[in-house]
Amino acid sequence: MADATDDDLPEILIRRKRKHARAQASSTARRKARNAPRRDDLARAAYYVLLLTMYEAEKQGEIERANRMRRRMLLMMEDALFDRAASAMAFDGHGDTVIQDVKAWVGARRFAKRREAEAARSAADTK
């Protein structure tokens, strides 16, 4: 909660930071107890859905549909003040590996959930 830089802060700010950290920890614990996704998890899933939809559209010969989605994505990145060429290079590179990326993400999540379950069983066994 407090760190070395807190030494210069007024006490009211230190208390506010600690209160925020407690609230955040509580929120995270409730979310984990419900096994609910974080915003980042939803964003990653949506990104993969977009890439997979584009991949499927291209396989079905709907090239213009895939191109419209790509343009919209690049416009969004440009609106957020990212370089268009750099965004296109990054986005197009991900499209080439989306199937492997999805499998890796899902696999990593499943592995982490198994480890959590094993740790919970182990903790229960030691009680």
- Concatenated DSSP letters of 38-96: PHHHHHHHHHHHHHHHHHHHHHTT-HHHHHHHHHHHHHHHHHTT--HHHHHHHHHHHHH
Does the pLDDT value for residue 71 go beyond 80?
A: yes
Give the predicted TM-score (pTM) of the model.
0.72
CB-neighbour burial class of residue 54 (10 A; exposed 0-12, middle 13-18, buried 19+): buried
At residue 8 the predicted structure's pLDDT band, cuts being 50, 70 and 90, is confident
Q: Mean pLDDT, to the nearest integer, of 86-112?
A: 94
Confidence at residue 4, expressed as pLDDT on a 0 to 100 scale: 54
Q: Mean pLDDT, to the nearest integer, of 61-83?
A: 97
At residue 123 the predicted structure's pLDDT band, cuts being 50, 70 and 90, is confident
At residue 5 the predicted structure's pLDDT band, cuts being 50, 70 and 90, is low
Does the pLDDT value for residue 1 go beyond 60?
A: no
Residue 97 DSSP symbol? T
Does the pLDDT value for residue 45 go beyond 90?
A: yes
| Assigned token pair, 94 | 């991900």
Q: pLDDT above 90 covers what percent of the chain? A: 66
